């Protein structure tokens, strides 16, 4: 029996409209967070002693990534990725994985698109992003309406996302994070920045009726009270999570089989190994201040 499809986090039609508006406003320029992600990925690629000749980039904002790697195939972050098996030596999933209903499926498809020993890199906003905005919207809406409406996309934590690399079958998986902070003149300017990144509210469960103006006025006042920045601005946090993995290959280092070690840890440390049931315990060290 086939398993049910994963629940849809995003309204894909609304997300497409949001991204199209962002592309028109940006006119090919990389939005702030995408530019930071590109800089970090360039640094990571510079540390890999490898020349990649068949790269692919999965993204929802192709205009922000079309010049990142000359000659790279640009692929939309659809549920089924337009990637040929084994066709690439590098696949980058760029600032789109957080909108996926099935992130493991996206990673598995990326791994299958890699040749043996090919590199996978992903960058996406993490769960600590926009923590201030989440807090003030929740407080304001609870005070005014007695409940909450989905307004900010839930994003993954680094531990959970790192585990997805292993589930998807990548070798040598690594997850790390970078935290950024930015100051904005107002809540309205922060919202405009998010729209410019194609990160407007496209949640499938969002309220379809317009929010009352009082909600955002209250949220603005709470924001300025709880999260002030210099010069009368407000502070916003962004977390970028980076995932790195390799397509399995016979040439890669493998962990040793348990029990296959040829030397004992006690020998390396220059000490005597004492069984746990030895009542005498280990002999005193010469630098032990409590020895007789």
CATH topology of domain 12-246: Rossmann fold (3.40.50)
Residue 283, classified by CB atoms within 10 Å of its CB into exposed (0-12), middle (13-18) or buried (19+), is exposed
How do residues 211-227 score in pLDDT, each as one tens digit?
Answer: 888 999 999 999 999 99
Domain boundaries, the chain: 12-246
The pTM (predicted TM-score) of the whole model is: 0.83
Largest CA distance in the chain: 80
How do residues 62-101 score in pLDDT, each as one tens digit?
Answer: 999 999 999 999 999 999 999 999 999 999 999 999 999 9
Q: What is the pLDDT of residue 30?
A: 76
């Amino acid at each position: 029996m086939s398993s049910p499809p994963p629940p849809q986090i995003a309204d894909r039609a609304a997300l497409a409209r949001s991204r199209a508006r962002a592309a028109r406003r940006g006119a090919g320029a990389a939005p702030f967070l995408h530019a930071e992600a590109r800089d970090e990925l360039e640094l990571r690629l510079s540390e890999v002693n490898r020349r990649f000749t068949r790269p692919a980039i999965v993204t929802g904002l192709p205009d922000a990534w079309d010049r990142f790697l000359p000659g790279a195939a640009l692929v939309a972050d659809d549920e089924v990725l337009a990637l040929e098996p084994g066709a690439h030596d590098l696949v980058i999933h760029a600032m789109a994985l957080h909108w996926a209903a099935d992130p493991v499926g996206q990673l598995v498809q990326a791994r299958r698109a890699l040749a043996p020993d090919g590199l996978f890199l992903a960058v996406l906003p993490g769960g600590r992003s926009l923590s201030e905005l989440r807090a003030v919207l929740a407080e304001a809406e609870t005070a005014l309406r007695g409940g909450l409406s989905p307004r900010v996309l839930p994003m993954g934590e680094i531990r959970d996302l790192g585990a997805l690399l292993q589930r998807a079958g990548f070798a040598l998986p690594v997850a790390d994070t970078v935290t950024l902070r930015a100051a904005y003149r107002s809540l309205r300017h922060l919202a405009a920045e998010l729209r410019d990144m194609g990160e407007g509210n496209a949640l499938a469960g969002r309220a379809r009726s317009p929010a009352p103006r009082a909600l955002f006025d209250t949220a603005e006042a709470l924001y300025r009270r709880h999260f002030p920045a210099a010069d009368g601005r407000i502070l916003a946090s962004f977390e970028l999570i980076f995932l790195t993995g390799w397509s399995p290959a016979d040439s890669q280092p493998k962990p040793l089989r348990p029990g296959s070690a040829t030397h004992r840890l006690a020998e390396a440390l220059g000490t005597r190994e004492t069984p746990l049931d030895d009542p005498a315990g280990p002999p005193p060290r010469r630098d032990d201040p409590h020895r007789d």
